Structure formats: structure tokens, C-alpha cells
Chain A
Amino acid sequence: MNVENGVHDAHYFVPAPSRWPIVGSIALFCMAMGAAFAMNSVGAGKWLLIAGFAILLWMIVGWFGDVIKEAQAGDYGLQVDHSLRWGMSWFIFSEVMFFAAFFGALFYTRVISVPEIGYFSDTHDLLWSSFQAVWPAATGPKVDAYTAMEAFGLPAINTAILLTSGATLTWAHWGLVEGRRGQLKLGLAITVLLGCLFLTFQAIEYHHAWTEMGLNLGSGAYGATFFMLTGFHGMHVLVGTIMLSTMLGRALKGHFTKEHHFGFEAAAWYWHFVDVVWLILFVFVYWL
């Protein structure tokens, strides 16, 4: 991208007034109110939350539908294309920072606060004399016994699955840029399947942790960071899978050309980002 001089279309596409943003705002408002009420056991909260989520889905379908229509109509020139690339890059950067908050919490807890409670002060003698400053078994007066998750079982298989999916997605992209539509569709379909497989395995892992290992959100600082990091990652895999499924649907309908397929690329960037987060997560949450 030409940062220094910019890229100039004669006419940059400015979309018409749209109802989708306000629909999205209403949806998020309902979800926020609904969640706040539901968490405090106010009866209507749950329904408000569900209604908000339904409105949000409607908005997402409608809004992206408009974007796809505009892309198909050829509204997005070179400069718009560059804007989309910048926009997606910065969005992924914001996602990186979101995960950074939780990784920061993990590192801080492991490197600073647990040792500090255990070795460097006598505080725990007064509060909980049997506290042991080891990771992952950081226990406390309010924590039931649990077993930590092993890295080299399902999580290692999931690592292989995600890495493979990154490769199949790139293979699909090669198919697209070289005009082999069959390879594009097959590659995307395999990637989506691998995404679903990952999610299934994670669901099995969670179920196993919850029912047989005594590992849940309340399992001390370990359980909190474990479920928060892997849970938000899983949510991102879900979103990525939905994005790629959409791209598969578009590919089947004949969308995308060799030169113009930023929708596909954006979804691929997102998928690779999710992949990288998993690798860091596998090393620091599961393995070390």
C-alpha cells in the first residue's frame, strides 16, 4: 500500500444512508441490558438478551449482505480496497490487544502474584496456611480440588487440526488466484470442516474438564485464565468458521475473481490470526 502518497480513485464509494448501524445499536443495547438483568436474576433479562442477539444476527446478515451486493456491483474501487485492507489489519490489531489483556493476566499471575503470595510474604500463613505457590495447582480457601489440563492429548490434536486448516486455506487461496475454482471450493470446505472438528474437540475437552477433572471457572487463578483464554479463543474460532462458511457459500455462487476477493482474504487473515493465538495459548496455557 502506498502510504506516502495515497491511492486515488476519481470517486470513492460512500455508501447510502443505512438502517443497519442503528439496528446493531438497538441489538447491543438490548443485549447489555438483558445480560445485566439476567446476571442479577431479574426475570425478563434472559429474554431481552436473546431478543438482542436475534436482532444482532439480523443486522449482521443484512449489513454484510449489503457489503456483498456492493462488492458484486463493482462499487469498491482500488482505493476502497486499500481502505478495507487497512481496516481489517487494524481490527485484527485490536483483537491482538484484547487477547494481550488476558495473556497479561496469566503472566502476571504466574510470574508475580502467585510467587508473591507464596514465597515473599507471610500473608498466606494468616489467611490459608496450606497455600502452595505452584502452578497450575494454585489453590485457596474457596477452591475445590481439580486437575490441570494436559497439553499432549486433545489440545495437541487440536493444534495439528488448526495448523492443517491454515495450510488448506492457503491452498484454497492458491486455487483462487490461479483460477482453479474446484481447488478453492474444496480447500474452503476442508478448512470449515477442520474448524468444526476443532470446536467439537474443544467441547469434549471442556465437558471432560467440567465433569471429570473438577476443572471449572472457579478453579483458582488457573481455572480462570484457562477458561477465559481458551474460551475467547474458541469463540473466535467459531466466528472464523462462520466467516469461512460464508466465503464458501460465496465461492459456490461464483463470487470472487482472481484480482478481487478481499472478502476471502479478510476471512483468511482472521483465521491465521486465530491460529497464531492458539499456538501461543498452547505453549503457555497447556504446555509450560
Chain B
Amino acid sequence: MNAATKALHPGESVGEQVHGHTHDHAHDDAHHGAQEGWRRWVYATNHKDIGTLYLWFSFAMFLVGGVMALGIRAELFQPGLQFWQPEFFNQLTTLHGVIMVFGAIMPAFTGLANWMLPLMIGAPDMAFARMNNWSFWLLPPAAALLLISLFVPGGAAAGGWTLYPPLSIQAGMGMDFAIFAIHLLGISSIMGSINIVTTILNMRAPGMTLLKMPMFAWTMLVTAYLLIAVAPVLAGAVTMLLTDRHFGTHFFKAAGGGDPILFQHIFWIFGHPEVYIMALPAFGVVSQILPTFARKPLFGYVSMVYAVCAIGILSFMVWGHHMFAVGFPATAQLFFMFMTMLIAVPTGVKVFNWIATMWQGEMTFETPMLFAIGFLCLFTIGGFSGLVLALAPVDIALHATYYVVGHFHYVLVAGALFSLFGAAYYWLPKWTGYMYSEFWGKVHFWWSMIAFNITFFPMHFLGLAGMPRRIPDYPLQFTTFNSMASVGAFLFGTAQILFLINVIRTIRGGVGPAPARPWDGGHTLEWEVASPAPHHTWETPPDEATVVAGLRLQGLEHS
């Protein structure tokens, strides 16, 4: 393959040329085989290797952030201070948030996109393979900054993951570490997203028009667009924090004509699209899994696409619903309230389409399907509690209570994380070439499902009863529900060890080799290549007949 490809290469090239310059391809000799040892991972330009790095990194960060969550829940098991000083508790809640959002959920989806997008749209690799490497390798330094900050004088950032001034301006040097970590994460996100958008727009197989590509590609396209739009805004916001902290500016200080509320606006102009950056890829994953195991095409494909785009656009117009309690004029409250409720329309379109996809399908309930259905049930609950919070008068009572904590964990854990587990089980056969243990997968699902609800459902009651978030101690009347939540959290944490063991056992052979198409209902292009996927795939794009045959089975081609 090496020689054949290289022989073709010069003839195909129409790039910039200079007279008398001979083609020198010595430098890309290595790109058709994997390098050995650590260089394979550190110098990687292969989308599958980089995808694998992303996925393992995000799982590691999931464990780190998870241990912090357990630290929080241990302290809250009963009233009074048992384990931590309040200062350290605040660092735990802050780092838990930052690490889970930027270290676990987002990189996991980028990892999926890296691994699967080129396979699903018939591209040889990501559009910018070398930059892809840098996108990943900026993440470990950022994570290191966050973890090192725990040990600097004053400890890590402790003002909550939203980094609101004036607290964040007064905080110690841990905040500077957090700010620079966010800069690195932002650079990584922007480069990763440019790669994803370009790959999707420019590298699809012949015959795969935009409205015929897999839903996962659509959701990643909109997600990456959102991220390119808002990651620089966050970078700007934390840069202003930095200059307010160290260079005497008054962006967020009223003493010089600035305004701390300004930071909240800029933060949430980033922060609300960020919510969809973590939710849309989950929609994409579920839109791949449900049709496969219902053995029916996705219901209402085009309306799904428009719903994703509508959510992407609306997500820029609702940031104020995070700020109902800052003293908005009534007009602003009404605007943000109605815009927020409007998002329920495209989201409802998606939920009903997913249900219609399963309607009268020949359903089987393998682990990916269980996680997808679990996602559907619990994410919808999170959506409903979101509607409750969208009502400005209600939100003023519930703002910064445990109701909010319960709400966004239904969206992010049962939403984003469950879809990630579903995706992992769905594509593990393609990644490893072996089948995972269905039994332990199902145990993982049911254990997670039950433990998740024990952990987070009581938080709604706590919030309605008035328990504020981000406190290490609470009055006695909140004890029962807090104890339940803590027990649930430790059960949930334990369940994830099952997942890790199952994945490692699958890599080592699992319950047997996987065929190229382990799921008979899967018709997207990734199932056309062998399992495990060879190091390089689609070096020549799939021919149009292959693409069209798959599209017919997905109900996207009727000719």
C-alpha cells in the first residue's frame, strides 16, 4: 500500500511548485504505518490514535472530577464539617465543574468526532491532521495547571466554575492558573472545532450531500461552529479578569466605572452555547444508536437537522436566564424567559422524533440502546426542570439552589455522559475488534441508572426547600435527602469501575472477535470497514454506489 500510494501521489499533486524542485516524499514515509512506542501517541497525526488519546484523557479526567464529586458528597452526607474546611470545599466544587465540563465531557465528544467522523463520512483523516495533534496535546498541560493550582498558596480557584467577580478578582494565584488553563483549553477547542467543521464541509464521500450525512456529523458541525464562536468570548472574559487582577483595569470594578455584572453577561454568552456544545453531540450519538437498534430509519431526518440548527441559533439568545436574580428590568426578563421556552420547541421535535423512530421498530435492547433510552427518559426530565427554571419568577426563588444542581446534572450526566457510554459500547467493537460483555454492560447501565436517580432526584426537593448550592454545611432538615444523594453518588462512582473493567477486557479480547458490522441495523459508512478499523481507512473515498446503498437503508436516498 505504501509504495502504491506514493507512486500515485506526485501525479495527483497540484500544489505550489517551483522549477527544478524534485518531489521529496521522504518526510511522509511514516504516515502509512503507526510509529512504535511513545512516539505513536505524542507525534500522532492519525485521527484514530488522536481520538483514542482524547477518549482516555477524558475518562481519566472523569475519574479525577468524579473523585472530587465524591469528596463533595462525603462532606454533605451529614450536617456539620466532617472532612474539609469550607475553603477547600469551594475549591472542590469549582474544580469539579471545570474538570467535568472542559476535561471530561467536551474532550470525550471531540474524541468521538475524531475517531468516527472520518469513518462515517468517508474521509482519509481529519482535514488538519497535525493541528489535530496539538488540539489534543494542549489538554494535559491545561489539566496539569488546574491540578497544580491545588498546591499553590491560597489553593485552587474557589469561586465556582463561573469565576464571577468580585470573588475571582480577590482570589489568590490559583485563579491565575485557572485563567491560563482556560486559555489553553480555549485554543484547543478552537483548533479542534476548525478541524471538525472543515472535515465535514470539505471531505465527505461522493454522493453524501450535507442533508444526507449522519446525524452525528450534523450535530458535531453545529457544535463545532458554536465552539468557534464562543470559546474566544470566554478567552476574552478571563483575559479581562486577569487584567483586573494584575494590571489595574476596571472592567468589572464599579470603583472605576466598570461593572461585575458585565462579566456575567460575557461569561454566559459563552456559557449558554456551551450547554449545547455538551448536549448536541449527545443528540447526535442517540440519533445514530436509536435507528440501529430499532431497525428503522431515523424519523424526520430533515426536521432533526433543522432542530439542531435552531437550537444552535437560539442558544445565543438565552444567556440572561442564568442571571434572572441580578436585577434585570422586566423587559429583559421577559425576553430571556420567552426565548428560553422557545428552545423547548426544537428540543421537543427531537424527542418526539426519537420516540417515533422507535415506534413499531424491531427493537432489541443491547447496552448502547439501553443508554440511549435512558438518555431519552432522563434528559427529558432535565429538559422539563429547565423549563421550570426558565420562568423568571420561579427562578428567582430557585436560583443557586440545589434545584439547579439537580437540573443540570440530569442534562449533563444522564444526558451527555449516558450518551457517551452508549457511544462507547456502540463503537467499541469497531475500535477494538472485539465484543464487550453484554451482561456487564447491562449491569453497568442499570446500576448507573438507579444510582444516578438516587443521587440527583432528591436534589430537586432540597432546592425547592431552599438549600443553596456550593455550601459545605446545611441545616438539619436537609439531612435525609443529602444522605440519600451521597449514598447514590458513591454507588454511581462504583458503577463506573465496572465500565472501565469491561472496556479493558474488551481490548484484551472481550467475549470474542467482532464482525465488521456487529449491529445488523447499522448502515452508516463506519460499518463498511473492518473491525478493528485499520490504521488508515478511506484513503480513497468510498465509491458512490457504496455510499448510496447505505443512504437507502438509512431512508435518505429514494432514487
Question: Residues on A close to B: CB < 8 A?
Answer: 1, 3-22, 24-26, 28-29, 32-33, 35-37, 39-40, 63, 66, 69-83, 86-87, 90-91, 93-95, 97-102, 104-105, 108-109, 112-114, 116-117, 123, 127-128, 131, 138-143, 216-225, 227-228, 254-257, 259-263
Tell me whether B250 and A143 are in contact (CB under 8 A): yes
Residue of B13, B28, B46, B246 touching A74 (CB-CB under 8 A): B13
Residues of A within 8 A of B330 (CB): none
Q: Are A14 and B45 in contact (CB under 8 A)?
A: yes
CB pair B259 A255 closer than 8 Å: no
Most chain A CB atoms below 10 A, which of B251, B257, B269: B257
Interface 1/0s, chain B 129-144, versus A by CB < 8 A?
1110110011011001
The answer to whether B228 touches A15 (Cβ under 8 A) is: no
For residue A67, which residue of chain B has the nearest CB? B130
Given the interface pairs A28-B138, A71-B16, A74-B10, the reply to whether A8 lies near B541 with Cβ below 8 Å is yes
Partner of B262, one of A79, A109, A123: A109
B137 adjacent to A11 (CB under 8 Å): no
Q: How far is the CB of B210 from chain A (nearest CB, A)?
A: 7
B475 within 8 A of A: no
B residues with a Cβ closer than 8 A to A are 5, 8-10, 12-18, 21, 23-25, 27-31, 35, 39-40, 42-46, 123-125, 127-131, 133-134, 137-138, 140-141, 144-145, 148, 172-173, 176-177, 180-181, 183-184, 187, 190, 193-195, 197-198, 201-206, 208-210, 228-233, 235-237, 239-240, 242-251, 253-259, 261-262, 265-266, 269, 539-541
Given contacts A21-B131, A94-B190, A217-B249, contact A12 B259 (CB under 8 A): no
Which residues of the partner chain A approach B39 to less than 8 Å between Cβ atoms?
17
Chain B residue at smallest Cβ distance from A93: B228
Can you name 11 extra interface pairs (CB under 8 A) apart from A28-B184, A97-B233?
Answer: A4-B209, A11-B5, A26-B141, A28-B138, A39-B173, A72-B16, A94-B229, A112-B259, A139-B256, A143-B257, A260-B15
5 contacts between A and B (CB under 8 A): A12-B203, A72-B18, A87-B127, A217-B243, A218-B250
Q: Point out the residues of chain A lying under 8 angstroms from B244, CB to CB.
A: 224
A8 to B205, CA, bound (A): 8
CA of A32 to CA of B197, assembled, Å: 28
Nearest CB of A to B541, in Å: 6
Nearest 4 pairs of A and B residues by beta carbon? A101-B236, A138-B257, A113-B259, A21-B134
Q: Which residues of A contact B148 (CB under 8 A)?
A: 33
Q: Of B194, B208, B251, B256, which one neighbours A87 at CB under 8 angstroms?
A: B194
**Chain A residue at smallest Cβ distance from B228:** A94
A71 to B18, CA, bound (A): 10
A18-B130, A21-B133, A28-B187 are contacts. A224–B249 as well, Cβ < 8 Å?
yes
Q: Knowing A32-B145, A71-B15 are in contact, say whether A25-B30 is a contact too (CB < 8 A).
A: no
Q: Which residue of B lies closest to A37 (CB)?
A: B173
Q: Would A140 and B232 be within 8 Å (CB), given that A12-B124, A75-B28, A109-B262 are in contact?
A: no
A residues in contact with B42, CB < 8 Å: 19, 22
Cβ-neighbour of A224 out of B190, B243, B261 (below 8 A)? B243
Within the complex, the shortest CB–CB distance from B350 to chain A, in Å, comes to 24
Contact of A28 among B124, B141, B256 (CB under 8 A): B141
Interface pair A15/B177, CB less than 8 Å apart: no
The residue in B125, B130, B202 that gathers the most chain A C-beta atoms within 10 A of its C-beta is B202
Given contacts A36-B177, A74-B14, A90-B197, contact A17 B233 (CB under 8 A): no
Chain B at the A interface: SS class:
helix
Beta-carbon nearest neighbor of A25 in chain B: B137
Q: Which residues of A contact B18 (CB under 8 A)?
A: 72, 254-255
Q: Are B203 and A6 in contact (CB under 8 A)?
A: yes
A17-B35, A105-B262 as given contacts; A83 in contact with B12, CB under 8 Å: no
A220 to B248, CA, bound (A): 9
Q: Does A17 lie within 8 Å of B124, measured CB to CB?
A: no
Interface contact A217-B265, CB-CB below 8 Å: no
Q: Which residues of B contact A138 (CB under 8 A)?
A: 256-257
Closest to B230 in A: A97
Q: Once the chains are docked, how many angstroms separate the CA of A75 from the CA of B187?
A: 27
Does the CB pair B12–A113 fall under 8 Å?
no
User: Is B13 a contact partner of A75 (Cβ separation < 8 A)?
Assistant: yes
Q: Is the CB of A69 within 8 A of B184?
A: no
Q: Which of A74, A86, A254 contacts B15 (CB 8 A)?
A: A74
Beta-carbon contact of A18 and B124 below 8 Å: no
CA distance A104 to B255 in the complex (A): 20
Contact B173 A140 (CB under 8 A): no
Q: Considering the chains assembled together, what is the distance between the CA atoms of A63 and B123 in angstroms?
A: 24
Residues of A within 8 A of B202 (CB): 1, 6-7, 79, 82-83, 86
Closest to B231 in A: A94
A70–B23 alpha-carbon span in the complex (Å) = 9
Complex interface: chain A residues within 8 A of B254 (CB): 117, 123, 127, 140
Q: B210, A29: Cβ atoms under 8 Å?
A: no
Q: In whole angstroms, how far apart are the Cα atoms of A33 and B28 in the complex?
A: 34
Give Cα A15 to B30, complex, Å: 9
Q: Which residue of A lies closest to B197 (CB)?
A: A90
| Contact in complex: B12, A69 (CB < 8 Å) | no
From known contacts A98-B236, A217-B247, infer whether A113 and B257 are also in contact, taking CB-CB under 8 Å.
yes
Partner of B194, one of A15, A25, A33, A90: A90
Task: Note all chain B residues with C-beta closer than 8 A to A14.
Answer: 28, 31, 45-46, 124-125, 129
Complex partner residue of A77 from B14, B209, B245, CB under 8 angstroms: B14
The answer to whether B194 and A36 touch across the interface, beta carbons within 8 angstroms, is no
* Inter-chain contact A77/B15, CB cutoff 8 Å: yes
How many angstroms between the C-alpha atoms of A82 and B262 in the bound complex?
A: 39
> Nearest chain-B residue to A259 (Cβ)?
B14
Minimum C-beta distance from A47 to chain B (A) = 17
Q: Which residues of A contact B210 (CB under 8 A)?
A: 3-4
Q: Is the CB of A109 within 8 A of B16?
A: no
Q: A3-B201, A25-B134, A109-B259 are known contacts. Are A11 and B540 too (CB-CB below 8 A)? A: yes
Q: Which of A15, A140, A221 contacts B45 (CB 8 A)?
A: A15
Quick check: A224 and B198 within 8 Å, CB to CB?
Answer: no
- Determine if B15 and A90 form an interchain contact, defined as CB atoms under 8 angstroms apart: no
Bound together, the chains give a CA A9 to CA B14 distance in angstroms of 10
Establish whether residues A10 and B540, one from each chain, have CB atoms under 8 Å apart when the complex forms.
yes
Per the bound structure, the CA–CA distance linking A55 and B48 in Å amounts to 28
Per the bound structure, the CA–CA distance linking A1 and B197 in Å amounts to 14
Residue of B21, B173, B198, B265 touching A86 (CB-CB under 8 A)? B198
Q: Are A83 and B127 in contact (CB under 8 A)?
A: yes
The chain A residue sitting closest to B188, CB to CB, is A25
Closest to A257 in B: B16
Given contacts A3-B210, A86-B197, A104-B269, contact A76 B15 (CB under 8 A): yes
A13 neighbours in B (Cβ, 8 Å): 28
Roughly how many angstroms separate A228 CA and B35 CA in the complex, as a whole number? 45
Cβ-defined contact, B44 with A73, below 8 A: no
Which one of B5, B15, B205, B239 contacts A80 once the chains associate, using CB atoms below 8 Å? B15
Chain B residues in 8 Å Cβ range of A131: 257
Separation of A176 and B258 alpha carbons in the complex (Å):
49
Contact flag A32-B184 (CB < 8 Å), given A14-B124, A86-B198: yes
> B residues within 8 A CB of A257?
16-17
The smallest beta-carbon distance between A197 and chain B, in angstroms, is 27
